[in-house]
Amino acid sequence: MDKMEPLYVALSLFRRRHYEKCIEVCTSILEKQPLDQTAWCLKMRAMTQRVYVDDLESEEAPTEDNFLDSNVVATAPRPGTSLKVRTSVVPVTSLGARPRTSTGRPISGVIRPGTQSSGSGSAIERLRMSRGATGQSARAVRLGTAAMLSQKDGPFIEISRLNLSKYSKHKGLSKPLFEYLFYHEGDIRNAMELTVLATQACEFKDWWWKIQLSKCYTALNLIRDAEQQIKSAIKQHPHVESYIRLIRIYLRLDQPLTATEVSKRALEVFPNDVSLMTEQARISEALNESQTSVKLYRSIVIEDAMNTEAIACIGMYHFYNNQPELALRYYRRVLAMGAHSPELYNNLGLCCLYSQQLDLTLACFQRALDLATDPLIKADIWYNLSHVAIAAGDIALAIQCLSVCLSANSMHAEAFNNLAVLQHKTGNIHLARAYLTSAERVHQPMALPETIANINMLMNI
């Protein structure tokens, strides 16, 4: 029986997402035929897909000083027009008591782009910090073929030998090569150079290259240049991804109202698109427009009944509107969909507590503690367990839960505040003052309003 063609085997492995085996087969083909462009391109795509991360769902805005940012329009924007305004007074709405993070963002329990601290592990920082070839080889050889010749112990592609001008004119190789440079190597400089050459080669008629150029500009924090490229791409070919990237650009520029207008225009072109409605709902939620946000989330659930984020946010809305029974239904729906996380069981425990289903409350919190590995998440769970103890009337147990919370997270301002209140109830005035002072110190520059009120009360005692 004859053996199957190796290239066909590699293609089959690539379609089934067995990228490691596909790379091995392509490597064996290239050892026999080093200039086989088909195997070279397939290996390049397999290596890219192996490390590919959807930058739309993992994009993190870098934290930079405003005086170095040339995109800052106003240092004191009007209320309701900025996502970066930090105020200690929350507008009086139905969600007025909703907790917020240390950055001022309402807690939703759903990880979204831009909600995590952008450190060295974020996608943009990874692209910035990754090694990239900055020098060009001076050897007078055939650059187009020398780049394809890879050594066994060396890199797959000698980036310094790449003739980008030649590859930019090859429609079958230019796009996979860009993705390899951008995602696998993290070489923004050469990726952007290839993008510019390919855009010129296609006479500025290919919208895909303009989107890739905007990604390079965004990675280099050239936000205005990226905005122009995306607008030009949308004029040539309206696409959902293009609109989402334009919305993210305006959010990076701290222009949520403009981002909302872009999302409305996009929904006119793509009616009832889930991803566009999700972006608009997130913006409304960040602007404290809870009614508009939950309306959009309900529309999302109608279009996609398995959308975890929309279901969780609707449940959160009902919980903070004193409807824990309805919130419990939504969180149980998320649990039935197969999601198992400490945050979900924590929310289920709180819903059971406030809906008087006390037999399930401790079981949910026990499950949340078993699944929690992050100390910050464990601290929040112990903080919520203190409310269970307070509801049962056990002040000593509540103090112990808050102490365990502080042992896991020594910067938990709410735990300090509640410990001060409990110590005041037990008659320890001096200890209560110390805890309130600690709460005010760790929650700067946006101190808790209730903490300030409690300090003023104790100072008068």
pLDDT less than 70: residues of the chain: 1-2, 58-80, 84-154, 444-461
Q: What is the rounded distance in angstroms from the CA atom of residue 51 to the CA atom of residue 110? A: 24
Please determine, looking at this structure, whether the domain spanning 373-461 carries the CATH number 1.25.40.10.
yes
Q: What's the pLDDT at 138?
A: 27
Q: What's the pLDDT at 181?
A: 92
Q: What's the pLDDT at 407?
A: 92
Q: What's the pLDDT at 101?
A: 54
DSSP string, 384-426: HHHHHHHHHT-HHHHHHHHHHHHHH-TT-HHHHHHHHHHHHHT
Q: What is the rounded distance in angstroms from the CA atom of residue 316 to the CA atom of residue 312? A: 6
Q: What's the pLDDT at 115?
A: 57
List residues bridging with 106 in a β-sheet. 100
DSSP string, 263-317: HHHHHHHSTT-HHHHHHHHHHHHHTT-HHHHHHHHHHHHHH-TT-HHHHHHHHHH
Domain range annotation of the chain = 373-461
Query: Which residues make Cβ contacts (< 8 Å) with residue 42, sequence separation at least 6?
Result: 7, 10, 11, 14, 22, 26
Q: What's the pLDDT at 167?
A: 86
pTM (two decimals): 0.77
DSSP 8-state class, residue 166 = H
